[in-house]
Chains A and B, each alone.
Chain A
Amino acid sequence: MEPIDTNLIIETRKLDFAYNHQSVLRQIDLKVPHGSIFGFLGPNGAGKSTTIKALLGLLQVKSGMVYLFGKEFHANRIGLLQRTSAMVESPSLYEHLSATHNLEITQKLRQLSRDRIGVVLELVGLTKDSNKKVKQYSTGMKQRLSLAIALMSEPELLILDEPINGLDPSGIIEIRNLLTRLNKEANCTVFLSSHILDEIEKLCSHVAVINHGNLLFQGDISSFMLKYNQADSVILETGDNVQVSKMLLTDGAILEKDHVRVPFHSKQDIASMIRRINDAGIEIYAVERDRNDLESSFLEILTEGGNS
């Protein structure tokens, strides 16, 4: 058997899971480094939540192994869960109780100091509403409370399933800052799944992409961008788009609806294109730079994965 890599906080080996004989996870080999903020990307139904449930032992996997902190999960379940906190799918809260009572239940079951309740309420900005019943909370407040419950035990590993769902823009920024701070100051490894690619790009040091139960990519975010990013492109609106597209064909120009898209590698490429269009006596109305981002890389990887 391959030796355990102690640099990894989460490792799965050939993880398989099926619901009613339908395969949901196929041979997942996930490797999450210690100290990372790891983004887990995938469209709906890709297998993100199922993977998270398998990591936490909520599902009986068909085959494969899960290792947390370098230890096999099932043989060390209690000890490993003491060092881990999780928020799985929609917030799990007792809606007929207040935030404080919800936190008290976790505090008792995890045998933590009662002082932690005030600390985490403060962290997620719910101190003022701590005695309100949770059913009176907005979706964003419930999401924050779930996060507060996850932070109660000061975990070394925080597993979050869609943590910014339902949060308003300021809430998203607060949670992003909080997770970054936890990662940097408390050395907490964060494993989070999300649909919001922009957030993953801003927050994560590492990323993995899953689709149809297959892991399509994993690695640090810069290598992901490097591997899947094609050249950025410039969008040109001119007096004669057809002529311009022919003229720049060798540069890879594509005629789109009301503009021409041309890939470029340097600023000098853009200057050269403009000069040639001017020389041809064609008027230029607009030049817009279209930066290739995580979204296009993500779409590309999904297409590539789907085609393979």
Chain B
Amino acid sequence: MSNPAKILTLVISTEIQKLRNTVALWLTLLYPIGSVFLASLFLYAGRENVKPEMVNFINNFNSMLAFFLPFFAVLMVSFLCQVEQRNSMPKHLFALPVPRWALYFGKLAASFLLMGVAWLLLILLVYLSLFILGSFSPRLKLSSSFDHTYLILLLIKTFLSAAALIVIQYLLSLRLRSVVAPIAIGTSLIILPIAILFVLGITGLISNPKMLEWLLRYDPYSYPFAFVFKISQGGEVKSDLFSWALTYWLIVAAVLSVLGYYEWRIRNIK
């Protein structure tokens, strides 16, 4: 077993096999279905007021999925790791003739793979939804002005915004044996900045949410929400696919995943 690519492929294939009947797999299916369904519902309910511009439709879908993305990522990663922790599997896996790096990066890759599956499903479901909505309302009909590239790039960017979140949640879930603790920490980190914004808004300390957009940028857990805000203010997303904030969080994700591996490599399996 000397070919690293082969080893990693083997580990990822077993990770996929372990997903049968797991919450992580169900979440991967439910998240796209739920977000597209809700976005479609809002779109249909406001069909008389919505500007029949294709870009508005796309932004509408993206806002909904960006809002649920951190919750999905936290739950999916936590439950994916829980498959091992719940069954005391680390000691079995570490006693197999498989390099530790393959076990670590294999599961991390499986987390990103599930994100990829959700992303693909979302794209399919957005098209399906617009096709169905168009048959009910002519204002929502797919037109030739529909920018397919914009849809795909926007979704890629939104998904990449959760990369650092996924890595941090992965490290937390590997470290903590109980599934409740990483979920509680992750959810708190998602909600906290939003709660601060909300309280500041109510108390009148801020009048324009844009003033606090930076707050979202510095919390990887609520960073995907920045897309909801930006789009709601009519911001352009396509032109800055790799904006400084996104690039920064992608680098953080890469660095953390490597540092996490060094910690995992020397960990005692009790």
Q: Which label, helix, strand, loop or mixed, suits the secondary structure of the B interface?
A: loop
| Complex: A106 Cα to B267 Cα, angstroms | 22
**Is A95 at the interface (CB under 8 A from chain B)?**
yes
A110 touches B97 (CB 8 A): yes
Is A105 interfacial (CB-CB < 8 Å)?
yes
> Residues of B contacting A58 with CB < 8 Å?
91, 94-95, 268-269
Known: A60-B266, A60-B268, A109-B14. A94 touches B89 (CB 8 A): yes
- Minimum CB–CB distance from B18 to chain A (whole Å) comes to 6
Residues of B within 8 A of A82 (CB): 97
Q: Which residues of A contact B88 (CB under 8 A)?
A: 89-90, 92
For A77, the chain B residues whose CB sits under 8 A away are: 97
A19 to chain B, nearest CB (A): 8
* B211, chain A: closest CB distance, angstroms: 48
Say if the beta carbon of B99 comes within 8 Å of chain A: yes
Known A53-B269, A104-B17; judge A92-B94 contact (CB<8 A). Answer: no
8 closest A-B pairs by beta carbon, nearest first, are A92-B92, A81-B97, A58-B269, A82-B97, A56-B95, A86-B95, A78-B97, A88-B91
User: Quick check: A94 and B266 within 8 Å, CB to CB?
Assistant: no
A81 in contact with B20 (CB, 8 Å):
no
Residues in B neighbouring A57, C-beta threshold 8 A: 94-95
Q: Is the CB of A94 within 8 A of B13?
A: no
Give the Cβ gap from A161 to chain B, nearest Cβ, in Å.
10
- Please list the residues of chain A having a beta carbon within 8 angstroms of any beta carbon in chain B: 19, 53, 56-60, 77-79, 81-82, 84, 86, 88-90, 92-97, 101, 104-106, 108-111, 149
Complex Cα distance, B97 from A56, in Å, reads: 10
Tell which of A19, A94, A101 touches B83, judged by Cβ atoms closer than 8 Å.
Answer: A94
Query: At the interface, yes or no: B87 with Cβ under 8 Å from chain A?
Result: yes
Chain A residues in 8 Å Cβ range of B267: 60
Min CB distance B98 to A, Å, is 5
Q: Is B11 an interface residue (CB 8 A)?
A: yes
Question: From residue A117, how far is it (CB to closest CB) to chain B in Å?
Answer: 13
Distance between Cα atoms of A13 and B196 in the complex (Å): 58
Docked-complex contact A111 and B96, CB < 8 angstroms? no
Nearest Cβ on chain A to B144's Cβ, whole angstroms: 48
Q: Does B22 contact A (CB under 8 A)?
A: yes
Contact with A along B214-235 (1 / 0, CB 8 A): 0000000000000000000000
What B residues does A79 contact at CB under 8 A? 97
Docked Cα-Cα span, A78 to B2, in Å, equals 10
Contact indicator A109/B91 (Cβ below 8 Å): no
Nearest chain B residue, comparing its CB with the CB of A159: B95
Q: How far is the CB of B16 from chain A (nearest CB, A)?
A: 11
| Closest residue of B by beta carbon distance from A101 | B17
Instruction: Give, as a whole number of angstroms, the nearest-CB distance from A49 to chain B.
Output: 9
User: Contact: A108 with B14, CB < 8 Å?
Assistant: yes
Is the pair A96, B20 in contact by a Cβ cutoff of 8 Å?
Answer: yes
Closest to A58 in B: B269
- Chain B nearest CB from A23 CB (Å) reads 15
> A92-B89, A110-B96 are contacts. A97–B268 as well, Cβ < 8 Å?
no
Residues of chain B within 8 A (CB-CB) of A110 are 96-97
Asked if B208 is at the interface (CB within 8 A of a chain A CB), the reply is no
Shortest Cβ distance from residue A35 to the other chain B in the assembled complex, whole angstroms: 22
Binary CB contact string for chain B from 238 to 270 against chain A (1 if under 8 A, 0 otherwise): 000000000000000000000000000011111
Q: A94 to chain B: which residues have CB within 8 Å?
A: 18, 83, 87, 89
Find the B residue at minimum CB distance from A55.
Answer: B95
Contact A89:B91 (CB < 8 A) given known A96-B21, A97-B18: yes
Within 8 Å of chain A (Cβ to Cβ): is B5?
A: no
C-alpha spacing A228/B97, complex, angstroms: 40
Judging by beta carbons under 8 Å apart, are B87 and A93 in contact?
yes
User: Can you list 5 A-B pairs with a CB-CB distance of less than 8 A?
Assistant: A58-B269, A77-B97, A78-B98, A92-B88, A109-B10
B45 within 8 A of A: no
Determine the distance from Cα of A86 to Cα of B95 in the docked complex, in whole angstroms.
Answer: 7
The answer to whether A56 and B94 touch across the interface, beta carbons within 8 angstroms, is yes
Across the interface, which residues of B come within 8 angstroms of A149, CB to CB?
Answer: 92
Task: Determine if B98 and A109 form an interchain contact, defined as CB atoms under 8 angstroms apart.
Answer: yes
Give the residue name and chain of the B residue nearest to A50 (CB): B270
CB within 8 A of B17: which of A84, A86, A105? A105
A-side contacts of B202, CB under 8 Å: none
State the CA gap A84–B14 with chains docked (Å). Answer: 21
Known: A56-B95, A81-B95, A88-B95. 18 other contacts (CB 8 A): A19-B270, A58-B269, A59-B270, A60-B266, A60-B268, A77-B97, A79-B97, A81-B97, A88-B92, A92-B87, A92-B89, A94-B18, A94-B83, A96-B22, A105-B17, A109-B10, A109-B14, A111-B10
List A contacts of B268 (CB < 8 A): 58-60
Task: Say which residue of A56, A78, A101 sits within 8 Å of B99 (CB atoms).
Answer: A78
